[in-house]
Amino acid sequence: MKFYQSNLLNNFSNISQVFTLRESGNLAFHVNDNILHVRTNHDILAKELSYNLNSLIHMKQIHSDIVHVVNDNDSFTNPPTCDAIITDRLNTPLMVMVADCSPILFYDDKKKVIAVAHAGRAGAFKNIVKNVIDSFVNNFNSEINNIHVTIGASIGSCCYEVGTEIFYEAKELNLEYAIEKKDESFYLDISKILKKQLLACGIKKDNIEISTECTKCNSDKYFSYRDDSLTGRFAGVIELK
């Protein structure tokens, strides 16, 4: 199975983390794929990364700003409904699935806490990353200077065309800096928003890593909803060992 790792998070030996690729297969159960095929892809990934599939926590993602602290009710077959999950539990891999939205992995090396988040336009506009950072601080007593954040491949401003209503919504939220106008069309840069929000939270610049690959430009490598609405999902995964 093909995947890549975060160079930033590779500095820490007590976590396992990857971003999967299109070649890894679809990992989402809600995109009209054969459920047995999806389960097989999960089985292969779990074997590759040496985790128990039943301990994997993924999400029913709803484009919200909801952050869920993992509890005993969560499991592979009973995922929470939210767009971010956080835990300090060992051997409990967390997964975020995307196909153009930003997959985000978080790690506090001092308190040993991990999190993942799903940030599309809605999540970025709602500032989901601030809610995740707040959860680190409020639920796990993290110090912001110790939190590291990596953002995997997502659709870039080269391809993310949006309508005038999104432009005006961005303007109302003081996010117009992330809108580029080209030939009477508007293009949105989600990564620019997420980076500014992380910095505003106090995350150190050196503790932020953002992929520059556009999923639509590289739809042969990643699943891209803008390229094909009937598509699978690739994933970001992180686990405390």
- Cα–Cα distance list, 152 to 100, 102, 111, 183, 204 (Å): 10, 6, 23, 29, 18
pLDDT at 124: 98
pTM for the predicted model, two decimal places: 0.97
pLDDT at 219: 96
d(CA 224, CA 150): 20
Closest CA to 166 of 120, 218, 213: 120
CB-CB neighbours of 50 under 10 Å: 11
Q: Mean of the per-residue pLDDT values for the chain?
A: 96
* CATH classification number, 3-155+201-240, choose in 1.10.10.10, 3.40.50.2000, 3.40.50.720, 3.60.140.10: 3.60.140.10
**Which pLDDT belongs to residue 229?**
86
**pLDDT attached to residue 2:** 82
Q: Which residues of the chain have a pLDDT value below 70?
A: none
C-alpha to C-alpha distance for 237 and 72, rounded to whole angstroms: 19
Q: End-to-end alpha-carbon separation of the chain, Å?
A: 21
Res 230: pLDDT: 87
Closest to 23 (Cα-Cα) out of 172, 221, 207, 235: 221
